[in-house]
Each structure stands twice: as C-alpha cells, then as structure tokens.
Amino acid sequence: MGMGKNKYSNKNILLMLDALSQVFLTNTRALEALYVINGLKPVARMSFSENYVPVIRNFCQNNNLAFETSDFKIMMNFKGNYSTKGSIVPADDSVAGHLFVYISMKDELAGKAKQAEAKQNVGEFGRLLGYPSCCVDFFKRNKPDEEKKSNDYVVPAMANSRGNVFSYYNNIFGRYFDLVLLSHCPCSFDCKKSIGLARKHEETISNYDGELKERIKRFLKSAVIYRDGAVYLMNNYVFDNKTVRFLNITATKRDDFYDLLSRNRKINANEHHFLLFE
C-alpha cells in the first residue's frame, strides 16, 4: 500500500463514522466528510466556529485530506441545528464568527471551491459540491429572491413539485434536525437526480453504520408542514385523505401551532399544506 490517498482503501479506523462524528460534531457534517472520502462528492463545504477550525485542519492534515478556509467569516442565524443565513465580515475581523472550510481528496478542488464561492460563481461551486445540474440551475435562478427571504429554497422547490407525496430521499427538512441524506435543496421534491444522489449516500452510510441509516430513513419518512419559515415534522403517520394522524412530532419552533399538533396528534389535511414523504 502506498502513501496518501490509498490509505482510505482499507477502511482505516479513522473512517469509522463514530470517529468522524466526534471530529465534525454533527451527523450531517460527518456524513459530508464520509461522502468525500468515498468519492461521492468532489468537495464538502461546512461551517465551523472559528475557534474549532484548527481541530478540522489537524484532522485533514493527519488524514491526507485537502483543506481550505474561507477568507471571510459569518455571523450565523440559526434555525435549530441548521443555519441558512448570516452576515459576512473579513476573516480577520475581531467579532467571533464561523468560517467555511472546504474539504476534498484533491488539493486543487478544495482551492477551486474556495475561489468559486468567493467569486460567487454559483454554477462552478455547485458542480464542485457534486450537486445535480438541474438543482444548481434552480439555485442560480432563485438566489436573488431567496437571499432576501428565508434563503432555504423551500418555497420555490414546492412550487416546482407536483402533488404532495414524495420519496423520503428528497426530504430535505431533516437538515434542521441533523438527519438528512442530501446537502442541497432539490429543484423539486420529485427531482430524480436528487433521489439518485440520496440513494448513493444512503448506501454509503449503511456500509458504515446500519443503525444510523435506519434512523435517518425512519425520520425522513414523515409528514411535513412548512409554515412561516418553521418546520413541523411528524413521524409514524397515516394519511386517510382527510386527516394525517401521527405519533411523534419534532419542530424548529415551540409555538402555539406546535402545542396544538402535539396535543392532538392529528390534523385536518384540508386546512394545511402538507408534504408527505414515504
């Protein structure tokens, strides 16, 4: 066995998902790293509190992964575990913030992703992150509008979708709860290319951690209400044409609506717009 990249071919202990989760702190980021290591994704871009970035840098150095950081940092606005918005300051600003890190198996790709993001070259950036071209085009088209709004692309994706029953692979709402198979918002909830990508991700996860794979799948098979920017995700549901009944609810907001849902464990489907993932 040679040096460098070949060390990944024999399932080095550091590739165990547990170890990745400890270093990368969330499932979502650990999985992004796993996809990069397994050649499913050219580059992963993640944000970390700037104090934590040296931990990631060390990990990448010790494991022959290419690593770059953004020349700017961000003051994040969080929604659950997930942040879609923030304000930008230079990396050397004294205010504490988050940096973007770019991780790849190839040095030149991490650098290219950093440049593409800095220059706001959306097409190139999306391609480097391994997103389907239809979804990159969708992102590009909706960017001006989304930047003024929630910046999560959910509303235009819903507008592009037919019906309201979709494959759980495209349930992007799991991102708010750190259980998700895609890192981009699909161009529609029936985007075939995104389903294909999510399926590959799931296969890879199951090679390392069958239990996590099942946990993600169970979570994503859910009824979702997206209302005023908040996500209400209901598991173990049945739908009988008029009513959605469910056992569990998770939400990004603990408001009156959340209380109502958790009290009743059912809701009239005519009164609310649902997305059903199965």
List the structure tokens of 240. Answer: 């009988």
The residue behind tokens 């995104």 is 194
- Which listed residue (180, 187, 231, 276) binds Zn ion by CB under 5 A? 187
β-pair partners for 251: 232
Subset of 192-231 contacting Zn ion (CB under 5 A): none
Task: Work out how close the CB of 130 gets to Zn ion at its nearest, in angstroms, rounded to a whole number.
Answer: 13
CB closer to Zn ion out of 137 and 202:
137
Q: Is 185 in the site for Zn ion (CB under 5 A)?
A: no
* Cα 99 from chain centre: 17
Closest by alpha carbon to 140, among 163, 161, 156?
Answer: 156
CA distance 25 to 14: 15
Q: Which position among 14, 134, 165, 230 is part of the footprint of Zn ion (CB under 5 A)?
A: 134
Neighbours of 91 (CB within 10 A): 13
Q: Which is nearer to Zn ion, 54 or 196 (CB)?
A: 196
Q: Is 158 in the site for Zn ion (CB under 5 A)?
A: no
**Nearest-approach distance from CB 253 to Zn ion, in angstroms:** 28
Please choose, out of 8-16, 62-70, 80-88, 185-193, the segment that lies near Zn ion by the rule CB under 5 A: 185-193
Q: With CB under 5 A as the contact rule, which of the stretches 77-85, 183-191, 208-216, 230-238 interacts with Zn ion?
A: 183-191
Q: How many Cα atoms sit within 13 Å of 233 on the Cβ side?
A: 24
List the one residue from 42, 126, 132, 174 that touches Zn ion (CB under 5 A): 132
Extract the tokens encoding 263.
């009290």
Residues 97 and 120: their CA atoms lie apart, in Å, by 20
Q: Which is nearer to Zn ion, 50 or 202 (CB)?
A: 202
Tell me how many degrees the CA angle 237-241-245 measures, rounded to the nearest 5. Answer: 25
Beta bridge pairs of residue 82 = 79
Residues near Zn ion (CB under 5 A), total: 5
CB of 248 to Zn ion, least distance (A): 29
Stretch that binds Zn ion, among 69-77, 83-91, 97-105, 188-196 (CB under 5 A): 188-196
Point out which span in 64-72, 75-83, 125-133, 161-169 binds Zn ion (CB under 5 A). Answer: 125-133
Q: Phi-psi region for residue 57, left (φ > 0), alpha (ψ -120 to 50) or beta?
A: alpha
User: Residue from 20, 46, 191, 276 that binds Zn ion (CB under 5 A)?
Assistant: 191
Comparing C-alpha atoms, which of 208, 219, 203, 213 is closest to residue 40? 203
Tokens 């990249």 correspond to: 5
Q: Which of these segments, 49-57, 86-94, 98-106, 135-143, binds Zn ion (CB under 5 A)?
A: 135-143
The reply on whether position 135 binds Zn ion by CB under 5 A is yes
User: Interface residues with Zn ion (CB under 5 A)?
Assistant: 132, 134-135, 187, 191
